[in-house]
Amino acid sequence: MPQLDTSTWFITIISMIITLFIVFQLKISKYNFPKGPEPNLTKLTSTTSPWEKKWTKIYSPLSLPQQ
């Protein structure tokens, strides 16, 4: 039974790994990935509500004078 020649396996495996790495890098480089999250500046809009037109004061029980 003849012996299996394994002298070229190392070069074959290394070249296959390098080729796969290059192919995956080329595939991934075609995609446009979104940038990191950035805070959106929101504009504050003042809305007038019916209860804002009247002067009201709410008394907290803790702010009332102690008897």
Domain boundaries, the chain: 7-31
Q: pTM here?
A: 0.45
Q: In this predicted model, what pLDDT tens digit does every residue of 6-37 receive, in sequence order?
A: 888 999 999 999 999 999 999 999 988 788 88
Q: Give 52's pLDDT tier (boundaries 50, 70, 90).
A: low
User: What does the pLDDT read at residue 31?
Assistant: 87
Q: What is the mean pLDDT of residues 43-58?
A: 64
List C-alpha distances in Å: 20 to 4, 6, 15.
Answer: 26, 22, 9
Full DSSP string of 2-66? PPP--TTHHHHHHHHHHHHHHHHHHHHHTS-------PPPPPP-----GGGSS------GGGSPP
